[in-house]
Structure 1
Amino acid sequence: MESGRLVKRVLVGRALRTDRLHEELLPRRLGLPVFASDALSSVAYAPDEIVVTLALAGGVTALTHSWSVTVAVCVVMMLIIASYRQTVYAYPGGGGDYEVASTNLGPRAGLGVGAALMVDYVLTVAVSVSAGVQNAASALGFLRGFEPVAAAVLIGVLALSNLRGVRESGRALAVPVYAFLAAMAALIGVGFYQWATGSLHKAASAAYELVPADGYEALTAFGLGLLLLRAFSSGTVALTGVQGVANGVPALRKPRSRNAASILVMMAALSITILLSVIVLTRATGIQIAQNPQEQLRLDGVPVPDDLVQDTVLGQLSTTVFGADSLGLLLVSICTGVMLVVAANTAYNGFPVLASRLARDRFLPTDLVSRGRRLAFSNGILLLSAAALALVLLYRATVTDLIHMYVVGVFVSFTLSQLGMVRHWNRHLRTELSLHNRRAMIRSRAINLAGATCALTVLTVVVLTRFVHGAGVALLGIGLLWMVMTMVYNYHRSVDKDLALPPEGSDASQIVPSRVYALVYVPQLDRATMRALAYARASRPQELEAVTTDVLPERTLELQREWARRGLPVTLRTLESPYRESVRPVIDYVRRLHRDRPREVVVVYVAEYVSERWWVRWVRDRAEERLRRELLRTPGVMLVTVPWQGQATAQGAGAGRR
């Protein structure tokens, strides 16, 4: 046990007092990398999703429509960001989408938002880490083939970083986030300079002919429209992480709402600038990327080799701007890979807080409510890590498979929370008399209504265009989680009803029993049993006896002789055990006693040997443990466990006191 505590202290750090919670709050400079890293990192794979989807219809379509699709995504982002600015001011206590939906639309809608966000947070970690490993592998070839292992290790590192506390996590993640922004600034700046001066080269993939995939050779106007909608839905991954700021407002320093609103604006400005710039340079360099390169890419009319490895859009753009094997390419690849990994930290800051809130509302186990030794929600962090690890291993860290399940949960929460905000303003407008405040509320309501309409439209498009590709799996996961949390809530309600105090004076549990009948379980006669016997005698019951079971006749006879030799003033009853069971006869005897004496309370004393050594419980006879487990389920019977500390345990306790 001591060694376990030492390891925990080394890995996680010293325990922090609750009154030091304010020291863990984040300033704005750390709030941006902590809460906006997910949205900022999406520019690393959002262009790929747009270009790959449009490439199904051939290179001309991808080149022509990538700009318009990206602009549409950016417009949606600005509208959603504007809507969330209203949320962080209206609900500065955090809770974000869950609190908004629960308060204004009811607990069922709030639970739906909670389930959607939890699924999305898990996918955020899985997708971000997998994409980070994939991007890093383009510069670090030794990672190829070991992506799942690398992703699993990175999830462990993220979990450990967050277990050490929010502030330490923010400091650890600030450097890679700002390094990524600097790398993007260098890439975009140099790229636009080369484009303006005419020195920007074409990408190597521009030499390929991109032919339409099977079934996309002759698209009608309707078919092209559906493809554009699918590309748009794929590009909306750029909006993931926006809700993390609203959920994490309590983790920011005061003024919390203003800092959160500022982070939202900075996040939107940076994401839109980088995304638009990357798409412009992608078009200028002629970068091409296909979902099935051997089927769609041709070089001089010949299909490309089967072993062709396509780099990501950012990888190809960096190679074109800085040159192959250049320091610039290496830095951009590493910064992007690390950024994608740390982007998962948005989920690590949102998921545990949301899980704690759901647990306080009785929808999840209560172990998720409290903070750990470093004032972080440790159990929530571990739960998120386990779920993300399972997804990464199940899908072998393949971003293409994971990305199709993404976004659904985000836009479910977007839609319900913004509808909730509309009802929030409607409710306040009914009581607000100030003309100035009413105008501000009407303006905010209009923004939230536009955001709700936009989010619902995008959600519809995502579900219709990606249902069979993975959106259906995400919806199924959300539904199952909603059902599980509903079951947990119903269980808590049934327990509360069972334990609720009746009207004063009618509580049967306060009636003093007429007599106390005490039993001491005696598997063998030793110091632990003697202590249990002494405690039972000290309680002065009306009747007291010791019971043992006759499993091995020779041992039973030896026990009876020793009992008589010591002259113990308690009757020893030997229970027959024809089937050699040491516990069942005792259980039957206790239940029979309670049935025959319903007005008396039966108290069973069980000795327990306590040891610091974890393996002792697997070596010793566990009959006492089985007996306790059965007695706990026996109504009308009280159970008293009398511990006997082993020598090592007693010495450790004494050393601790000294």
Structure 2
Amino acid sequence: MLSSVKRILIGRPLKSTALGDQKLNILKALAILSSDALSSVAYGTEQILIVLSTIGAVAYWYSIPIAVGVLFLLAALIISYRQIIFSYPHGGGAYVVSKENLGVNAGLIAGGSLLVDYILTVAVSVSAGTDAITSAIPQLHPYTVPIACVLVVMITILNLRGLTESATILAYPVYLFVFALFILIGVGIYNIMTGNVSHTFYHPALGTPVEGISLFLLLRAFASGCSALTGVEAISNAIPNFKDPAPKNAAKTLILMGSLLAILFSGITFLAYYYGIGPKADETVVSQIARETFGRNYLYFFVQGTTAVILVLAANTGFSAFPLLAFNLAKDKYMPRMFAIRGDRLGYSNGIVALGVASILLIIAFHGKTEHLIPLYAVGVFIPFTLSQTGMIIRWVRKKQGGWLAKLSANLIGAIITLTVLLIFFITKFTQVWFVFIFLPLIVIMFHRINKHYEAVGEQLRIHPESPAIPIEGNVIIVPVAGFTKVVENSINYAKSLTDQIFAVYVSFDREDEKRFAEKWEKWQPDVRLVTLQSHYRSVLQPLSKFIDTVEHKASENNYRVTVLIPQFITKKSWHNILHNQSSLLIRTYLIFKKKVIVATLPYHFKK
């Protein structure tokens, strides 16, 4: 039944040879990898206004120069990440760049930051999408968290179906969102130019003196506005997902994404300024702009609908990049190997599921409040931004390839700006991001512990010709028995086919039972030695374990191995298992961890 449900949800398994068909062209890649960056225009301007609103509506004109600063940073990042794409065409982004040029710990900090960032990408995007839904339908406000969790589950299932299929489905709402915002911005600017607006809006003129404004507050607003740049790095992480020539296609997609992001962010910020719109608790800035431009008609709901969908589907950037980053870390032995395994649909399913579960937990923990997540979200982006730019500077200095001075200059500008923004975040929003200083070191420590384990495992599994293995001279089989049944008979006969060194072990709870069992056994299996053990506390494991230790110690002196052969019957229907005690399962689970003891199970299948 579970297998049938799985097939319905994620589809039939794909052959490994179909991996090439799962690559993305530019249009699909733009939809699946740029949805996070493009969707951030829905809340980037709002985050600037939230900070400025602490002074008052007269301060809203500062959103224009702040937006110019954000666009300048965007240009620097696009240039820098374009160079990363061609320098590291196999993907990995900030993790690989930092690890190769700045050292392992820098790489792990970048990788850990990005893993957390992608979890936050999903949580923030879905929470913001839920906000857009509840802005249009206020009656749904009490159900914000359940709605967000259901949406994460839906996106997780969509991604488990495969990269190409999810990209095909996602392309339509992403481009619809871009189309809707172009209509909104175009109609808004046309109305302003023609004077065809519903009423006169109050917007302070650029340069209007504002009492109480400070550099600290402006820097804080700028840092908040930089949340519009989240997701820019995703393309450099996912180069292997592109069709050949992958680097060129990835670079073109990056330029397209940057251009669209710049236009949409500029347009939304300008309209918000002209309309004098400020942040509201129950309505987003984009919703207010659409309402002022169209009224609450079908165009308003078209904008709100596509905005809600893109905000939710922006989570797909995390689902595209997180599994690939987890794969790179797992390949380098810093994350569990299960993250390096492809699933039925050729995606890294374990990474997809882990991301979905972590995001749901985060949404529940923060009650779906987007504004509580965005500061930490942005910090998680700008740490790898800074490290990757710095790593590229080291690379150009070291290699001195053609045109390296110009490339170094671009990365140097990017590093200075991203470091500045990062410091602004830590200074202005320390109370919201302070635990970065706790969880990042913990993540790096965890990476090192995992790596240490894998190195130790590799050392112990490695064959050393100078130290040949001790030959096994023979085998001693111990068969725990609980009665005179076909299951026990089947196990004893199998043991006889392997060796004549057999011990049947019976654990008794009283002397009379022990005596009766021994007498019956002598008549039934006279050629198999029976060992009866007394258990005064009704425990089977303890006396059995002591006996196995004794046999193992004597057997090892003669280079023999001890095998514990556990008889187990298998019921025809799975629910029948609850009607029987699971002593064989308990014995196997306990013994599997004992040194130098082989544990084998001989199943006996019931027919009815």
- Residue equivalent to 2:284: 312
Q: Does the CA contact (< 8 Å) of 1:203 and 1:316 recur in 2?
A: no
- Residue equivalent to 1:622: 582
| CA distance, structure 1, for counterparts of residue 572 and residue 425 of structure 2 | 55
Q: Which deviates the most, 408-417 or 624-633?
A: 624-633
Within-5 A mapping of 1:43-122: 43-62=41-60, 64-122=61-119
CA shift, 1:631, in A, is 2.0
CA shift, 1:501, in A, is 2.4
- Residue equivalent to 1:538: 497
Within-5 A mapping of 1:361-372: 361-372=332-343
Question: Which secondary structure does the structure 2 equivalent of 1:242 belong to?
Answer: coil
1:343 is the counterpart of 2:306: no
Question: Which secondary structure does the structure 2 equivalent of 1:56 belong to?
Answer: coil
Report Cα offsets for 1:568-595 as digits up to 9, x if no partner: 5211211111111012111111112223
- Residue equivalent to 2:7: 9
- Residue equivalent to 1:28: 26
Q: Does the CA contact (< 8 Å) of 1:131 and 1:399 recur in 2?
A: yes
Decide whether aligned partners of structure 1 residues 538 and 67 sit closer, same or farther in structure 2, where only a CA change above 3 A counts: same
Report Cα offsets for 1:124-155 as digits up to 9, x if no partner: 10000000010111112332110000000000
- Aligned partner of 1:110: which letter? G
1:527 is the counterpart of 2:489: no
1:249 is the counterpart of 2:264: no
- Residue equivalent to 1:275: 265
| CA distance, structure 1, for counterparts of residue 144 and residue 441 of structure 2 | 30
| CA distance, structure 2, for counterparts of residue 174 and residue 412 of structure 1 | 30
Q: Does the CA contact (< 8 Å) of 1:551 and 1:582 recur in 2?
A: no
Q: Could you state the TM-score of these two structures normalised by the residue count of structure 2?
A: 0.95
Report Cα offsets for 1:400-435 as digits up to 9, x if no partner: 212222111111111111111122223322xx5xxx
- Residue equivalent to 1:595: 553
Question: Which secondary structure does the structure 2 equivalent of 1:92 belong to?
Answer: coil
- Aligned partner of 2:456: which letter? S
Question: Which secondary structure does the structure 1 equivalent of 2:601 belong to?
Answer: strand
- Aligned partner of 1:373: which letter? D
1:233 is the counterpart of 2:193: no
1:478 is the counterpart of 2:478: no
- Residue equivalent to 1:500: 462
Q: Which deviates the most, 97-106 or 113-122?
A: 97-106
| CA distance, structure 1, for counterparts of residue 126 and residue 514 of structure 2 | 62
| CA distance, structure 1, for counterparts of residue 414 and residue 379 of structure 2 | 16
Question: Which secondary structure does the structure 1 equivalent of 2:345 belong to?
Answer: coil
Q: Does the CA contact (< 8 Å) of 2:155 and 2:316 recur in 1?
A: yes
Q: Which deviates the most, 332-341 or 476-485?
A: 476-485
| CA distance, structure 2, for counterparts of residue 553 and residue 187 of structure 1 | 89
Decide whether aligned partners of structure 1 residues 202 and 475 sit closer, same or farther in structure 2, where only a CA change above 3 A counts: farther
| CA distance, structure 2, for counterparts of residue 611 and residue 40 of structure 1 | 55
Q: Does the CA contact (< 8 Å) of 1:191 and 1:281 recur in 2?
A: yes
- Residue equivalent to 1:396: 367
Decide whether aligned partners of structure 1 residues 611 and 239 sit closer, same or farther in structure 2, where only a CA change above 3 A counts: farther
| CA distance, structure 2, for counterparts of residue 647 and residue 24 of structure 1 | 44
| CA distance, structure 2, for counterparts of residue 647 and residue 418 of structure 1 | 66
Report Cα offsets for 1:252-297 as digits up to 9, x if no partner: 111111111111111111111111111111111111226xxxxxxx
1:127 is the counterpart of 2:124: yes
Q: Choose from 538, 546, 550 the match for 1:580.
A: 538
Question: Which secondary structure does the structure 2 equivalent of 1:404 belong to?
Answer: helix
| CA distance, structure 1, for counterparts of residue 466 and residue 76 of structure 2 | 60
| CA distance, structure 1, for counterparts of residue 361 and residue 511 of structure 2 | 52
Q: Does the CA contact (< 8 Å) of 1:200 and 1:285 recur in 2?
A: no
- Residue equivalent to 1:352: 323
CA shift, 1:203, in A, is 8.1
Within-5 A mapping of 1:157-172: 157-172=154-169
| CA distance, structure 2, for counterparts of residue 559 and residue 169 of structure 1 | 64
Q: Does the CA contact (< 8 Å) of 1:203 and 1:320 recur in 2?
A: no
Q: Which deviates the most, 24-33 or 547-556?
A: 547-556
| CA distance, structure 1, for counterparts of residue 382 and residue 407 of structure 2 | 20
Gaps of at least 5 residues in structure 2 are: 205-209
Question: Which secondary structure does the structure 2 equivalent of 1:45 belong to?
Answer: helix
Decide whether aligned partners of structure 1 residues 320 and 531 sit closer, same or farther in structure 2, where only a CA change above 3 A counts: same
- Residue equivalent to 1:303: none
Decide whether aligned partners of structure 1 residues 572 and 396 sit closer, same or farther in structure 2, where only a CA change above 3 A counts: same
Q: Which deviates the most, 529-538 or 556-565?
A: 556-565
CA shift, 1:310, in A, is 4.0
Q: Does the CA contact (< 8 Å) of 2:16 and 2:346 recur in 1?
A: yes
| CA distance, structure 1, for counterparts of residue 219 and residue 251 of structure 2 | 30
- Residue equivalent to 2:181: 184
Q: Does the CA contact (< 8 Å) of 2:568 and 2:601 recur in 1?
A: yes
CA shift, 1:394, in A, is 1.0
Q: Could you state the TM-score of these two structures normalised by the residue count of structure 1?
A: 0.88
| CA distance, structure 2, for counterparts of residue 184 and residue 488 of structure 1 | 46
Query: Matched residues, percent identical?
Result: 33
Report Cα offsets for 1:9-50 as digits up to 9, x if no partner: 111100001110011111111000100000000000001100
Decide whether aligned partners of structure 1 residues 409 and 618 sit closer, same or farther in structure 2, where only a CA change above 3 A counts: farther
- Residue equivalent to 2:207: none
Aligned residues: 601
Q: Does the CA contact (< 8 Å) of 1:525 and 1:559 recur in 2?
A: no
Q: Which deviates the most, 139-148 or 128-137?
A: 139-148
1:387 is the counterpart of 2:358: yes
CA shift, 1:479, in A, is 2.6
| CA distance, structure 2, for counterparts of residue 563 and residue 634 of structure 1 | 29
Q: Does the CA contact (< 8 Å) of 1:130 and 1:398 recur in 2?
A: yes
Q: Does the CA contact (< 8 Å) of 1:532 and 1:605 recur in 2?
A: yes
Decide whether aligned partners of structure 1 residues 472 and 506 sit closer, same or farther in structure 2, where only a CA change above 3 A counts: same
Question: Which secondary structure does the structure 1 equivalent of 2:367 belong to?
Answer: coil
Q: Choose from 459, 466, 469 the match for 2:422.
A: 459
CA shift, 1:551, in A, is 3.0
